[in-house]
Amino acid sequence: MAALNIILHEPEIPGNTGNIGRTCVATGTRLHLIEPLGFQLNDKTVKRAGMDYWDQLDVTRYDDWNDFLERNPGAKIYYATTKGKHVYSDVSFEPDCFIMFGKESAGIPEEILVEHPEECIRIPMIGETRSLNLSNSVAIVLYEALRQNHFDHMKLEGELHRLHW
C-alpha cells in the first residue's frame, strides 16, 4: 500500500496547513511539520480549515530540518520549488516517498535545494508568476503521486442516487 508523505518546512499560514491536513486525511498521506511554525497548532484557523478531520491526521512535528533528517534516515525526498529542473509529472514517485514544500513567503531554503538538484520538481506556470498557493501546490503534486501509485487504497468509484420526483 502506498504511504506517501508531505513535508511542510516552516509553514506560516494556518489556513494552508489546515487545508493540507484535510487533504492528507482524505488521501491517507502522512504530514510532517518542520518548526518553527508561523502559528500555534491549536489555532482555530488550522482546525477550521481541517474541519473535523484534524484528529484523524497522521502528523509528526520536528524541531528543525536536522531533526527531520535524523528521524527519517534514507528518506527519498522530492523538493517542490519554482527553482526545480524537472516538472513534477515527469518524475516517478515511489510509494513511500516524501514531497517537501517550503514556507509561503520564501519556499524551501536554497542551502537544502542545492544539495538535491535532481530531486527538485516544479509546477509549470506562465510568465513571471511567482508561485501558487501552498495548499493548491500540495494537492496538485500529491494527486500526481497518488495517480502514479494507482490511487492505492483509495475509493475510486462514487454512487449516484436517483431522486424520484
Q: Which residues are annotated as a binding site for S-adenosyl-L-methionine?
A: 102, 123, 131
Please tell me the distance from the alpha carbon of residue 128 to that of residue 67, in angstroms, as a whole number. Answer: 35
Enter the C-alpha cell of residue 90. Answer: 515527469
Q: Under a CB-based contact definition with an 8 Å cutoff, are residues 99 and 76 in contact?
A: no
Residues in the chain: 165
Q: Under a CB-based contact definition with an 8 Å cutoff, are residues 23 and 135 in contact?
A: yes
Please measure the distance between the N-terminal and C-terminal CA atoms of the chain and give it in whole angstroms: 43
Annotated binding site: 102, 123, 131
Separation in Å, CA 77 to CA 11, 72, 120: 18, 10, 9
Residue with cell 494537492: 139
Enter the C-alpha cell of residue 157. Answer: 468509484
Residue with cell 454512487: 159
Enter the C-alpha cell of residue 87. Answer: 516538472
